A and B are shown apart, each in its own frame.
Chain A
Amino acid sequence: DIVMTQSPFSLAVSEGEMVTINCKSSQSLLSSGNQKNYLAWYQQKPGQSPKLLIYYASTRQSGVPDRFIGSGSGTDFTLTISDVQAEDLADYYCLQHYSYPYTFGAGTKLELK
Chain B
Amino acid sequence: EVQLVESGGGLVQPGRSLKLSCAASGFTFSNYYMAWVRQAPKKGLEWVATISTSGSRTYYPDSVKGRFTISRDNAKSSLYLQMNSLKSEDTATYYCARQLGDWFAYWGQGTLVTVSS
Contact = CB atoms under 8 A, between A and B. Distances in A.
A97 B102 contact: yes
Interface of A: 1, 38, 40, 42, 44, 48-52, 55-56, 61, 93, 95, 97-98, 100-107
Interface in B60-109: 60-62, 95, 100-109
B103 A95 contact: yes
Given A49-B95, A50-B95, A93-B45, A100 B103 contact: no
Given A38-B102, A49-B95, A102 B47 contact: yes
B105 A52 contact: yes
B45 A97 contact: no
Nearest to B63: A101
Contact of A104 (B45, B62, B106): B45
Contact of A101 (B47, B102, B103, B107): B47
Contacts of B50: 100, 102
Nearest to A55: B103
A109 to B, nearest CB: 11
A66 to B, nearest CB: 19
B107 A51 contact: yes
Contacts of A38: 102-103
Nearest to A95: B103
A55 B102 CA distance: 10
Nearest to B61: A101
Contacts of B95: 49-50
A55 B59 contact: no
Nearest to B6: A49
Contacts of A102: 47, 50, 102
A11 B11 CA distance: 35
Contacts of A97: 101-103
B26 interface: no
Nearest to A36: B101
Nearest to A47: B109
